[in-house]
Amino acid sequence: MKDYLIKALAFNGEIRAYAVRSTETIGETQRRHNMWPTATAALGRSMTAAAMMGAMEKGEDKLTVKIEGNGPIGAMIIDANGHGEVRGYVSNPQTHFDLNEMGKLDVRRAVGTEGMLTVVKDLNLKEFFTGQVPLVSGEVAEDFTQYFVVSEQVPSAVALGVLVDTDNTVQAAGGFILQVMPGASEETISTLEDKIAKMEPISKMIAAGLTPEEVLNTVLGAENIDVLDTMDIKFSCNCSKERFGNAIIGLGEKEIVDIIEEDGQAEANCHFCLESYVYPKEELEGFLDEIRAQANQ
């Protein structure tokens, strides 16, 4: 089953809902970075949330999520956009601990309980929108819930889950975000809280083969849901040799000359997909020609 996301309304428009299967997307990230289980769970939960947040925006809008706690995993950086494309990396991908007292991967210990969750949105306006909240648990889902309530003033319920197999591969990943719309009745809110309290962990639902539609049906009741749209979700990195080349040009003539004299070539590595780009001496000299030609115009 491919990864995809659904957008829906529930309870006659009083609840806005998103649900996603992200197993293949998180699996590709795990393979690229050779992540260990606890790191996979932490970054996988974060990327799953970011994918749904990207789907909340318009097509060309994009956002960056940064979670930086005081745990050994270090910073997690995730990019997502309105086309269902998401990418992410973590500072220390080989982070793992024994299971916690609940028998689950100890994401809280890896992320830490002190730090910040920051969301920067590029909405194609003059200035970026930035929202930032302190971490409240390090379990990620609770931290995104806090972000929506504090930074966007939208009461929300966020569920995120990643199951990692014994060989470190991703068995299942997915999540949902439920948001209370203005004017929602107390009865609807109470019903929502009751249903969430009784639901199975989201990772178990995805592992059992439930689709995003079936996840929402299970949590909210099929009779209460109106699916509006579906969107494919995938790992996608927009890095390229040209992009890194422009960055090298931006270093300026002196810096490029120093690189040529000291190393004879330049190499750039993408943090997100780990692709490497090599610029031999001839290409660096071509960059110098471009800089000098622009200076003489």
The neighbour count for residue 1, using CB atoms within 10 Å, is: 9
Q: Where are the alpha helices (DSSP H) in 34-158?
A: 37-55, 107-111, 141-151
Task: Please answer whether residues 160 and 177 qualify as being in contact, where contact means their C-beta atoms are separated by less than 8 angstroms.
Answer: no
pLDDT at 124: 75
Q: Write out the two tokens for 22.
A: 């992200």
pLDDT computed for residue 36 by the predictor: 97
Domain ranges of the chain: 4-235, 241-295
Structure confidence at residue 103 (pLDDT): 81
In the chain, the N- to C-terminal Cα span, in Å, equals 55
For residue 66, the model assigns a pLDDT of 98
pLDDT computed for residue 125 by the predictor: 75
The two tokens of residue 6 are 């659904």
Second-level CATH architecture of 4-235? 3-Layer(bab) Sandwich (3.55)
The sign one gets for the Cα dihedral 241, 242, 243, 245 is: positive
Q: What is the pLDDT of residue 273?
A: 95
The model scores a pTM over 0.95: no
CATH class of this structure's domain 241-295: alpha beta
Nearest 5°: phi and psi at 10? -135, 160
Tell me which residues of the chain have a pLDDT lower than 50: none
